[in-house]
Amino acid sequence: MLLTRSALVVLAGAYVAAPTDPLRVMRVAPQGVADQNAVVMVTFDRPIAAGVESAIDPQTIFRIEPRVNGRLDWRDPVTLRFRPAVALPVGRTFTVTIANTFQALDGSRLDQPYTFTFRVQGPRVCGSSKRW
């Protein structure tokens, strides 16, 4: 009887630890239209690593086209952040791709690469001081 209970506990633990749902992207920024100083953020639905120091090298899973120089890092165990080195050019559309070649802490993976786009809008005139 003791052996049966131990086996059930081990089996239950293995079942709980196994990923049942694929990894998902919960949120991205910017969406649609962005300003020139936009920071790109991708947030997953579960931790990719136990801590920022032990996270996957973001250079291996993040791509932005057209290519932009900048700093790519993990803001926290679920959020990838890209900060462009210079202001993004007005009128350009960027495509961000997150590869599906990595796994989250629980072993889950993206079903397929995740892609989103945004367009950079220039400064907007909010008002005028000229009187007619």
Q: What is the reported pLDDT for 10?
A: 40
Output the pLDDT for position 53. 73
For residue 109, the Cα-to-chain-centroid distance in whole angstroms is 13
Q: Specify the higher pLDDT residue, 7 or 107.
A: 107
**Under 8 Å between Cβ of 88 and 38:** yes
Q: What is the CATH number of the domain that holds 57?
A: 2.60.40.3710
Would residue 71 count as lying in a domain? yes
pLDDT digits (tens, 9 = 90+) for 13-52: 443 445 579 999 999 999 999 999 999 999 999 999 877 6
pLDDT in tens, 91-116: 999 999 999 999 999 999 999 999 99
How many domains are contained in the chain? 1
Pairing assessment for the beta strands 93-98 and 114-120 based on DSSP bridges: antiparallel
pTM metric for this prediction: 0.78
Q: What is the pLDDT of residue 124?
A: 67
14: in domain: no
Query: 69's torsion region: left (phi>0), alpha (psi -120 to 50) or beta?
Result: beta
**Nearest alpha carbon to residue 105 among 73, 72, 78:** 78
Domain span at residue 62? 21-120
Q: Which of 42, 46, 23 is nearest to 31 (CA)?
A: 42
Does 2 fall in a domain? no
84-103 b/e with 16+ CB inside 10 Å = b?
beeebeeeeebebebeeebe
Say if residue 111 is exposed, middle or buried (CB neighbours under 10 Å; 0-12, 13-18, 19+).
exposed
Residue 128 domain-assigned (yes or no) = no
Q: Is residue 7 part of a domain?
A: no
Within-domain flag for 99: yes
